[in-house]
Amino acid sequence: MSYPPEFLYTKDHEWIRVDENVGTIGITDYAQKELGDIVYVELPKVGDHVTAKESFGTVESVKAVSEIYSPVDGEVLAANPKVQASPELVNADPHGEAWLIQVHLVDRSDLEGLMTAEEYEAFISQEKAH
Amino acid sequence: MENRIRYARTHVTRNEDLIFERTSPGKSGVALPPLDVPSAPANQILGANLYRDDVEGFPEVSELEVLRHFTRLSTWNYGVDTGLYPLGSCTMKYNPRVNEVVARLDGLATDHPYTPESLAQGCLKVLYETARCLAEITGMDAVTLQPAAGAQGELTGILMIRACLAERGNPRRYMLIPDSAHGTNPASVHTSGYEVRNIKSNAQGCVDLAELGRAMTEDVAGLMLTNPNTLGIFEVQIREIADRVHARGGLLYMDGANMNALVGVARPADFGVDVMHLNLHKTFTTPHGGGGPGSGPVAVKRFLEPYLPAPVVEQTPDGRYRLDSDRPKSIGRVRAFYGNFGMAVRALAYILANGPEGLRQTTEDAVLNANYIMTRLRDVYELPYDQPCLHECVFSDRRQAARGVRTMDIAKRLIDYGFHPYTAAFPLIVSGALMIEPTESAGKAELDAFIEAMRAIAAEIDEDPQFVLKAPYSTRVSRLDEATAARTPILRWKPQ
């Protein structure tokens, strides 16, 4: 699966797509592969605040429970009900239908430290080498 | 005569229905004599609110059927008593039978926890002596035996840190945990009201001092560290780590899950640990798994003693034992009565049967066994952190993953070779981890058989990865659908 060039990526393997001041956040294809079959997704409620670099939820697979870190500060506008009902969507379509939350961006400067698709692919090929 | 039996399978190797599915209406395991008093309807005597009339599908079976059902199931078990159980981080070691002999002594097995102190001197002495031995082994000053398992020990320890710092004026906000830690550590921290700050390990798999220096602020209550860590590697900079935590007013908690690598050789108190837990069901040969029950004593330095859970067993000047419940700074009770007393009995039996030399030898054998496995498998499985290990070694499935076979698949195939799998996919800092802990209990012949099995599987993966991906072949059921079981769990049997 390729990494969409219009997304930005974190070292903790989340992606964010920004439209105006709304950010849509999910986990990457690399993350879902490493986790294996995902069985449960826990997300914040609409109206909650998420903080950059802090955990906003968890994904649980048959192997492990992992925190999901927010790339940005903001208020939660939507939490994807589809992935909560069918967590396997995260394995099937991590960059599309299985987006996790949408946030109202407070400060666009949060985006500055994130990686482009190209940088992220270089980053994960290093991770794989370890 | 021609052998006409083409395919023979004895009935005991068949898969087993649930006891609920074996029901035969009207059958019963007991025959009661006829009533010689007037019958009284239970629902009228108890009242409708206490009477349950919806018991449905209760199995109706004979005594012999029940006996056979559970006896057959018991023969399917794989345990330390049947073979090597190299589950890393779990220390599945042999439980010497002398422990069981001692635990069954009349006064110890049958005493009631409400027995008055004057009549329970023997049991109190067992608690006192167990705590004293654990204090000597860890170098710490005081021990509580109350926590029922390791994770409860962690919670107890962190609550004591919180109580101590609160009394100094500020309980602080964060607890540092390395990224190689056991999953229970962040859970204990969170439950104690702290927030977790992860610190990344360095290239040697140990705490990165620079990273620790940055993270260790006046807002941080302390560091929760496993030593040796989950890679089986001793934190060689432990003194420096402790100093940095202490310099900013924090406390050092040690997760003692891996004490099997240290007993009789190194004492955590000497390298700067303030509070730690032990797992009697790992290091001190009390039963592990199948409900144990566990036992997670917590050992502390003197300055934390006032916060220990109450009561604490003391020795009076005339040599008698008493329970001290008058402990105003105590974090309170964490477990009914005195913890899992039977486990203290077994651990004490183990400690005294071995003595200091025996315990040290145990540690050395555990470390030797792990290094033997590491050395004999490193040419076929990748060793991501290449250095001598202590009681366990951790490989990565990277070479096998290139052929589509992951650690879990290798673990499943190992079952066909007659071994319990190692710990798969932990610690998380190794991609596709194979975590192997043979313990001191395995002899050389058994280690060699395990090594041969692991090498044979590596060869199979080179030749025919598809074959390994479908393992195990020798079990009653092969690959269970873990994902569906977790996504839509069916937690109880219901009639069709």
**Which secondary structure element, helix H or strand E, spans residue B426, and what is its range?**
none
The answer to whether the peptide bond before residue B438 is cis (omega within 30 degrees of 0) is no
Query: Closest chain B residue to A41 measured between Cα atoms?
Result: B487
Give the distance, in angstroms, between the CA of residue B311 and the centroid of all CA atoms in the same chain: 25
> Does residue B200 share a domain with residue B112?
yes
* Interchain pair B482, A37: CB under 8 A: yes
Chain B residues with beta carbon closer than 8 angstroms to that of A60:
486
- CATH code of residue B322: 3.40.640.10
Chain B residues with beta carbon closer than 8 angstroms to that of A40:
486-487
Residues 6+ apart with CB under 8 A from B373: B393, B436, B438, B447, B450, B451
Task: Supply the pLDDT for residue B12.
Answer: 53
> Does residue B371 share a domain with residue B429?
yes
In a domain, A20, yes or no: yes
Task: Supply the pLDDT for residue B439.
Answer: 97
**Residues B375, B140: Cα–Cα separation, whole Å:** 35
Task: Supply the pLDDT for residue A128.
Answer: 67
pLDDT mean over A75-86: 95
> What is the residue-averaged pLDDT of chain A?
93
Domain that holds residue B329: 97-353
Query: Closest chain B residue to A39 measured between Cα atoms?
Result: B487
Q: Which of B298, B330, B353 is the last residue of a domain?
A: B353
Query: Closest chain A residue to B401 measured between Cα atoms?
Result: A128
- Pairs of residues, one from chain A and one from chain B, whose beta carbons lie less than 8 Å apart: 27
In a domain, B85, yes or no: no
Residues 6+ apart with CB under 8 A from B257: B89, B91, B150, B182, B226, B279, B282
Query: Closest chain A residue to B205 measured between Cα atoms?
Result: A130
Q: Are B248 and B217 in contact (CB under 8 A)?
A: yes
Q: Across A1-130, where does the E strand assignment appear?
A: 8-9, 14-19, 22-27, 38-42, 49-50, 55-61, 65-69, 74-79, 101-105
In a domain, B83, yes or no: no
> Does residue B425 share a domain with residue B331?
no
What sign for the dihedral angle of Cα B138, B141, B142, B147?
Answer: negative
CA distance B469 to chain A (A): 15
Query: Closest chain A residue to B407 measured between Cα atoms?
Result: A63
Q: Are B297 and B280 in contact (CB under 8 A)?
A: yes
In a domain, A3, yes or no: no
* Interchain pair A64, B483: CB under 8 A: no
Out of B384, B428, B486, the one facing A64 most closely (by C-beta) is B428
* Interchain pair A88, B431: CB under 8 A: no
Q: Could you write out the DSSP letters of every residue in B452-486?
A: HHHHHHHHHHHH-HHHHHT---SSSS----HHHHH
pLDDT per residue of chain B (496 residues) written in tens, 0 to 9: 455 655 544 455 567 888 988 889 889 888 889 999 998 888 889 988 888 877 777 899 999 999 999 998 888 888 888 999 999 999 999 999 999 999 999 999 999 999 999 999 999 999 999 999 999 999 999 999 999 999 999 999 999 999 999 999 999 999 999 999 998 999 999 999 999 999 999 999 999 999 999 999 999 999 999 999 999 999 999 999 999 999 999 999 999 999 999 999 999 999 999 999 999 999 999 998 777 899 999 999 999 999 999 999 999 999 999 999 999 999 999 999 999 999 999 999 999 999 999 999 999 999 999 999 999 999 999 999 999 999 999 999 999 999 999 999 999 999 999 999 999 999 988 989 999 999 999 999 999 999 999 999 999 999 999 999 999 998 888 898 888 888 888 888 887 6
Out of B183, B428, B486, the one facing A62 most closely (by C-beta) is B486
Q: How many domains does chain A have?
A: 1
> Does residue B199 share a domain with residue B293?
yes
> Does residue B267 share a domain with residue B124?
yes
Q: Which residues of B148-184 are buried (b: 16+ CB within 10 A; e: fewer)?
A: bbbbbbbbbbbbbbbbbbeeeeebbebbbbbebbbeb
* Interchain pair A39, B428: CB under 8 A: no
DSSP H helices in B341-397: 341-377
Q: Are B280 and B346 in contact (CB under 8 A)?
A: yes
> Does residue B365 share a domain with residue B327?
no
In a domain, A1, yes or no: no
> Does residue B363 share a domain with residue B349?
no
Chain A residues with beta carbon closer than 8 angstroms to that of B487:
39-40, 87-88
Q: Across B46-181, where does the E strand assignment appear?
A: 142-144, 174-178
Chain A residues with beta carbon closer than 8 angstroms to that of B428:
64
Q: Which of B301, B333, B353 is the last residue of a domain?
A: B353
User: Hunting for tokens 């610190």 — which residue is that?
Assistant: B199
Coil, helix or strand for B316? coil
CB atoms within 10 A of CB B64: 9
> Does residue B339 share a domain with residue B363?
no
B452: left (phi over 0), alpha (psi -120 to 50) or beta: alpha
What crossing angle do the helices spanning B407-416 and B444-463 adopt, rounded to 10°?
A: 120
CA angle at B413 for the pair B412 and B419, rounded to the nearest 5° = 85
Q: Are B423 and B414 in contact (CB under 8 A)?
A: no
CA distance B140 to chain A (A): 34
* Interchain pair B425, A63: CB under 8 A: yes
Q: Are A91 and A37 in contact (CB under 8 A)?
A: yes
> Does residue B109 share a domain with residue B247?
yes
> Does residue B436 share a domain with residue B311?
no
Out of B384, B431, B483, the one facing A37 most closely (by C-beta) is B483
In a domain, B2, yes or no: no
**Which secondary structure element, helix H or strand E, spans residue B66, and what is its range?**
helix B63-75
Coil, helix or strand for B375? helix
Task: Supply the pLDDT for residue B5.
Answer: 53
Q: Which residues of A touch B (CB under 8 A)?
A: 34, 37, 39-40, 60, 62-65, 87-88, 127-128, 130
Q: How many domains does chain B have?
A: 2
Q: Could you write out the DSSP letters of every residue in B44-65?
A: HHH-TTT------S-----HHH
Task: Supply the pLDDT for residue B305.
Answer: 98
Chain B residues with beta carbon closer than 8 angstroms to that of A34:
431
Task: Supply the pLDDT for residue B4.
Answer: 60
* Interchain pair B431, A128: CB under 8 A: yes
- CATH code of residue B450: 3.90.1150.10
Q: CA nearest B175: which of B252, B227, B240?
A: B252
Domain that holds residue A14: 8-129
**Residues B451, A105: Cα–Cα separation, whole Å:** 55
* Interchain pair A39, B425: CB under 8 A: no
Q: Are A78 and A121 in contact (CB under 8 A)?
A: no
pTM assigned to the model? 0.87
pLDDT in tens, A17-63: 999 999 999 999 999 998 889 999 999 999 999 999 888 999 999 87
CA distance A15 to chain B (A): 21
**Residues B99, B307: Cα–Cα separation, whole Å:** 31
**Residues B114, B327: Cα–Cα separation, whole Å:** 20
> Does residue B260 share a domain with residue B141?
yes
Chain B residues with beta carbon closer than 8 angstroms to that of A62:
482-483, 486
For residue B215, the 8-state DSSP code is: H
Give the distance, in angstroms, between the CA of residue B1 and the centroid of all CA atoms in the same chain: 55
What sign for the dihedral angle of Cα B186, B188, B191, B196?
Answer: negative
Q: Across B372-427, where does the E strand assignment appear?
A: 393-396, 423-424
Chain A residues with beta carbon closer than 8 angstroms to that of B482:
37, 62
Task: Supply the pLDDT for residue A34.
Answer: 87
Task: Supply the pLDDT for residue B341.
Answer: 96
* Interchain pair A64, B486: CB under 8 A: no
Q: Which of B334, B353, B372 is the last residue of a domain?
A: B353
Chain A residues with beta carbon closer than 8 angstroms to that of B384:
130
Out of A62, A128, A130, the one facing B483 most closely (by C-beta) is A62
**Residues A18, A116: Cα–Cα separation, whole Å:** 13
- CATH code of residue A41: 2.40.50.100
Task: Supply the pLDDT for residue B2.
Answer: 54
In a domain, B6, yes or no: no
Q: Which residues of B touch A (CB under 8 A)?
A: 183, 384, 408, 425-426, 428, 431, 482-483, 486-487
In a domain, A14, yes or no: yes
* Interchain pair A88, B428: CB under 8 A: no
* Interchain pair B425, A64: CB under 8 A: yes
> Does residue B252 share a domain with residue B179?
yes
Assembly ipTM: 0.72
Coil, helix or strand for B120? coil
**Residues B306, B301: Cα–Cα separation, whole Å:** 10
In a domain, A2, yes or no: no
